Structure 1
């Protein structure tokens, strides 16, 4: 592939079955006229929320998990942010970018009143520093592949053919940022609202070294909140108002408290006792509360899938065998999983691009509807593939399934284990349960066979799901010249032909999911939750961070 990355990349494939944003999406800090509602200026009542896992890191280039992205997107602020309808709006930038006619030069003016929490001004140099740090392969940033084929020289830098100092971004002055692009990228402005593109204070980051982003004391931030009482082992933390934030008078809560709650019954009991204001529910608890007036289910664009690692410890794994992959794919009863185990409104999915996420640029037809269902459950066909695999492998098939230790994670893993072993006689699945950070490390090192993983879109385009599976970028040792060429064509050959690009992306998904069965889509997430009356202003997003809390509060 022309824009291939030669080095292994660390992908965001961690299992986060539930994130813990609150309810009442779309409510903001204004009244219906758009004017600030002075009666709701600020709430001194602590808003109590939950996360299903610990935070992996607060260094924005080492984003590992959904709780980290959520925290980073409320403690830091980039050039742009999403409003309650997922529209890109200025944040640290004064206005939307000025883009040259050829689409290759972005000029962005920064607001001059943005400050770091230590009192330093936020300048264009802070963005240049952070982006070069992300692009440099030696840092192994999780999202350095986003530089490939976007910012000028990004491809050569991630391929170690040029220095990170040659990245096509520079500060024209303290408050003017210029970005040179390798080619026009229609979704690039939306990427600038995503946490890996946030700024970093070079002096502070350099001073802290490897300790940066590992605890509250090792963070300097520029967003609406400061983080307190947190380190990487913390099971609770606080977001408190940042007095240096330029828009501090719009921040609705003085303090938001988070608890890591891995057991659904614990979350429910804390909600019932008044100690938790939003409780995320799954399974029986979701079923039992469907008629509760506090209950809501919100459809998301996050897709959970089974990742099958084809090479482990530099040796072919069980999933190097195509018939094993296809046996698992056709045997899975996804509908039973979402109806009987999750029961939170999540839907079974038969493709990697979620429904109601992106539409055909010419016809407006939803991608999922136009692309259709791929690999529908067929137990008979699954057993035919397993029989072929047994002959090729000279015996029964044994698989290790990696799972995080959260309540929801374990239940999903146990369902997959039991359902597949019943549907496929001769198949044995052993579940390996580990804490979040252990799971991250195992997947980073490709030291696993099978894992339930989540991909949340970074920007609103099918490429956000597909591009990370090209041969040079995935961490499952999947290799496909056909898939790589289709992605390259969509990125380059058809970049300015929206309809042909669309058709190419549909073809690429079919190769990935049906022809090669490189991964197995499981379900499109919905979040079932109880939301206490009086909780207002938490905004949900369908790409980038899941939630923002700038306008969130609970009435006294």
Structure 2
């Protein structure tokens, strides 16, 4: 996240777009129907990579968000249908008529795992910590144009202590907004807005969130046997959790599994209860009665960093970006490499995520396909680039070391080098935490990135690409103005706002080729009979386990 935001880019919307693909679940059960059901053994699950951090303001990778969303709890949470319900909050917020003041009453029986009460002060502390630019929180841009003084704090014009949030008393939180933000309540279910115990966090300092001993929890589970290098960990039932009697599993064990062959073998041997499959293993198990393909709203894209270590990179050249954009055979990638139900995508907003507020037309259908594969056009752009750069083009592709990540990187390397003679791609493979650090520092050229929506609106994908907020050194006055217009000028004109967001996506993906959408993810998995209650979500955390258990 770059500092020095020069203009207020808000995420204001006048209407919450309600069309969504509902949160699926593996043999999903409602709370009422599963009250009498009990876990009979430990549930064994997996993640594809390590957890980066358990400090909820430093949230970037999917395993971290998932773990945080089960170990901590915010004011609100998502139910199995992705509807907001109270969590630490006692009820839904009391919102002033002008939409600029939120009053939230907290339940008084919520406790931290060390016995401390969870209070309004814990939210104030965490949010001010997130807003402060010196902390470089991954989502501190969510404060820009939402909570009062957030923009000025992000711009380093005001102190984080001036953020428009305060505890009226121990169990009453008041939030002052810079302007109405219709979907702000949904953001309060997202992990960066979780509370933090100030005394504990301060005592731990930089060690906070780096191991299970350096965490104090307020959610349904405690974390055990984990540090940042761990390839396994456990979630155990939190006895201090106010709703502990509804938590179905006493223990859930996680293993980091990067090789699909290993994943499948562990499932076959009974040592893994949910096995995420890709490639040939997904293909071979399509007819397996245990197989599920759950469509997600997560979009994978190629991030082209235009400035590396303070100097223009190869991707500062627009013709290089467009050559890569038109050369990629996304359909072959999803059919032959992923083979898990993921679909090729030709825009940044996923299919079946949001709809036109008047006609109900899906955004992806209305916006159409951008930058379809065109080998001839791709080579024309490459020839222009080679002339401008006085020679062939060499690119470094940064990849994480997971099995699926490596296979995607190898496909991109081979396919682009075949399609674009004179292009050379070198793959650099590193562990997850190294990848995150290199991305943060801007020390890379090309990388596969994933964006999962934080709330249900196109802006959750588009807003982070404005000049002041993106991590690829992309700069566009035209794009910035379109996002600003959608956030401010057309905030109370839903249809005009919608049209402006469609135009902004076209500038980002087609006109400027600032990033290359690859595919909309599906989660292909084998689920053992008896696994119940895992909830999957289409924004925020991918999975929650409060009601999850296995019965045999």
Output the TM-score relative to the length of structure 2.
Answer: 0.96
8 Å contact from structure 2 (residues 28, 535) kept in 1: yes
Partners in 2 of 1:533 and 1:367 — Cα distance? Answer: 37
Partners in 2 of 1:366 and 1:373 — Cα distance? Answer: 13
Q: CA deviation at 1:341?
A: 0.2
Q: CA deviation at 1:264?
A: 0.2
1:198 alignment counterpart: 194
Q: CA deviation at 1:553?
A: 0.3
Q: Give the SS at the match of 2:382.
A: helix
Q: Write the deviation string for residues 164-193 of structure 1: whole angstroms up to 9, x where unpaired.
A: 000000011111100000011111000000
Q: Write the deviation string for residues 108-145 of structure 1: whole angstroms up to 9, x where unpaired.
A: 01011100001111010000000000000111111100
Partners in 2 of 1:133 and 1:49 — Cα distance? Answer: 32
Alignment of 1:451 with 2:453, yes or no, is no
Alignment of 1:528 with 2:530, yes or no, is no
Q: CA deviation at 1:25?
A: 5.7
Aligned counterpart for 2:30 among listed residues 28, 31, 39:
28
Partners in 2 of 1:25 and 1:195 — Cα distance? Answer: 25
Q: Write the deviation string for residues 418-440 of structure 1: whole angstroms up to 9, x where unpaired.
A: 00001111110000000111101
Alignment of 1:351 with 2:362, yes or no, is no
Partners in 1 of 2:543 and 2:518 — Cα distance? Answer: 23
Q: Give the SS at the match of 1:61.
A: coil
Q: CA deviation at 1:23?
A: 5.4
Partners in 2 of 1:476 and 1:25 — Cα distance? Answer: 40
Q: CA deviation at 1:465?
A: 0.3
Q: CA deviation at 1:44?
A: 4.0
Q: CA deviation at 1:208?
A: 0.5
Partners in 1 of 2:282 and 2:397 — Cα distance? Answer: 26
Q: CA deviation at 1:30?
A: 2.2
In the alignment, structure 2 segments of 5+ residues that lack a partner are: 8-22
Partners in 2 of 1:498 and 1:100 — Cα distance? Answer: 21
1:319 alignment counterpart: 315
2:539 alignment counterpart: 543
Matches within 5 A, 1:451-470: 451-470=447-466
Q: Using a 3 Å threshold, how does the CA distance of structure 1 residues 471 and 216 change in structure 2: closer, same or farther?
A: same
Aligned counterpart for 1:305 among listed residues 301, 305, 310:
301
1:246 alignment counterpart: 242
8 Å contact from structure 2 (residues 24, 537) kept in 1: no
Partners in 1 of 2:90 and 2:435 — Cα distance? Answer: 40
2:5 alignment counterpart: 5
Q: Using a 3 Å threshold, how does the CA distance of structure 1 residues 339 and 345 change in structure 2: closer, same or farther?
A: same
1:121 alignment counterpart: 117
Q: Give the SS at the match of 1:81.
A: strand
Q: Write the deviation string for residues 429-462 of structure 1: whole angstroms up to 9, x where unpaired.
A: 0000001111011000000000000000000000
Partners in 1 of 2:4 and 2:486 — Cα distance? Answer: 14
Q: Give the SS at the match of 1:350.
A: coil
Partners in 1 of 2:450 and 2:223 — Cα distance? Answer: 26
Partners in 2 of 1:499 and 1:110 — Cα distance? Answer: 36
8 Å contact from structure 2 (residues 35, 246) kept in 1: no
Q: CA deviation at 1:4?
A: 7.4
Q: Give the SS at the match of 1:293.
A: coil
8 Å contact from structure 2 (residues 148, 176) kept in 1: yes
Partners in 2 of 1:399 and 1:86 — Cα distance? Answer: 40
Partners in 1 of 2:129 and 2:325 — Cα distance? Answer: 39
In the alignment, structure 1 segments of 5+ residues that lack a partner are: 8-20
1:79 alignment counterpart: 75
8 Å contact from structure 1 (residues 400, 432) kept in 2: yes
8 Å contact from structure 1 (residues 28, 536) kept in 2: no
Q: Write the deviation string for residues 86-126 of structure 1: whole angstroms up to 9, x where unpaired.
A: 00110000111111111100110101110000111101000
Q: CA deviation at 1:26?
A: 3.6
8 Å contact from structure 2 (residues 27, 531) kept in 1: no
Matches within 5 A, 1:253-332: 253-332=249-328
Alignment of 1:37 with 2:39, yes or no, is no
Q: CA deviation at 1:496?
A: 1.3
Partners in 1 of 2:444 and 2:50 — Cα distance? Answer: 21
Partners in 2 of 1:390 and 1:424 — Cα distance? Answer: 11
Partners in 1 of 2:257 and 2:319 — Cα distance? Answer: 39
Matches within 5 A, 1:456-495: 456-495=452-491
Partners in 2 of 1:429 and 1:28 — Cα distance? Answer: 49
8 Å contact from structure 1 (residues 153, 168) kept in 2: yes
8 Å contact from structure 2 (residues 71, 217) kept in 1: yes
Partners in 2 of 1:247 and 1:37 — Cα distance? Answer: 13
Partners in 2 of 1:255 and 1:6 — Cα distance? Answer: 48
Partners in 2 of 1:150 and 1:25 — Cα distance? Answer: 38
Alignment of 1:212 with 2:214, yes or no, is no
Partners in 2 of 1:123 and 1:311 — Cα distance? Answer: 43
Partners in 2 of 1:548 and 1:402 — Cα distance? Answer: 30
Q: CA deviation at 1:64?
A: 2.4
**Aligned length in residues:** 535
Partners in 1 of 2:147 and 2:35 — Cα distance? Answer: 41
8 Å contact from structure 1 (residues 24, 535) kept in 2: yes
Q: Give the SS at the match of 2:74.
A: coil
8 Å contact from structure 1 (residues 5, 145) kept in 2: no
Q: CA deviation at 1:364?
A: 1.0
1:155 alignment counterpart: 151
Output the TM-score relative to the length of structure 1.
Answer: 0.95
Q: CA deviation at 1:535?
A: 0.3
8 Å contact from structure 2 (residues 4, 154) kept in 1: no
8 Å contact from structure 1 (residues 26, 540) kept in 2: no
